[in-house]
């Protein structure tokens, strides 16, 4: 998936949560998984700089903290990639 920033119209269609920027710390894209865990299927990847909407739902699985997103794709991402430190 290419780097995508939200425009005004798209922002109106996303409810709840908070917008965060994807940052993997290197050139690799971030894997978005269908549920929290390393064995979960990858539903998409997001490149650094992409805006994602975090729903505010978090969980711990496979030794990692996970955050749910609902934009630009629905799924779970490692929380640290969105800047959550916990």
Range of the domain at 78: 8-82
In a domain, 31, yes or no: yes
In a domain, 75, yes or no: yes
In a domain, 35, yes or no: yes
The answer, yes or no, to whether residue 1 has pLDDT greater than 60, is no
Please, which residues bridge with residue 78 across strands?
A: 66
* CATH (domain of 74): 2.30.30.40
| Cα–Cα distance for residue pair 32/78, rounded to 1 Å | 8
20-65 residue pLDDT tens? 999 999 999 999 999 999 999 999 999 999 999 999 999 999 999 9
In a domain, 3, yes or no: no
Quick one: pLDDT at residue 2?
Answer: 46
CA dihedral 78, 58, 37, 75 (to 10 degrees): -80
In a domain, 50, yes or no: yes
In a domain, 1, yes or no: no
Strands 42-46 and 51-61, bridge-based pairing:
unpaired
In a domain, 34, yes or no: yes
The number of distinct structural domains making up the chain is 1
25 three-class SS: coil
Quick one: pLDDT at residue 16?
Answer: 72
């Amino acid at each position: 998936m290419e780097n995508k920033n939200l425009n005004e119209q798209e922002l109106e269609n996303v409810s709840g949560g908070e917008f965060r920027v994807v940052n993997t710390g290197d050139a690799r894209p971030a894997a978005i998984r269908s549920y929290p865990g390393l064995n979960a299927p990858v539903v998409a990847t997001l490149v650094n700089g992409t805006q994602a909407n975090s729903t505010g739902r978090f969980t711990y699985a496979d030794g990692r903290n996970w955050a749910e997103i609902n934009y630009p794709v629905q799924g779970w991402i490692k929380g640290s990639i969105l800047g959550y430190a916990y």
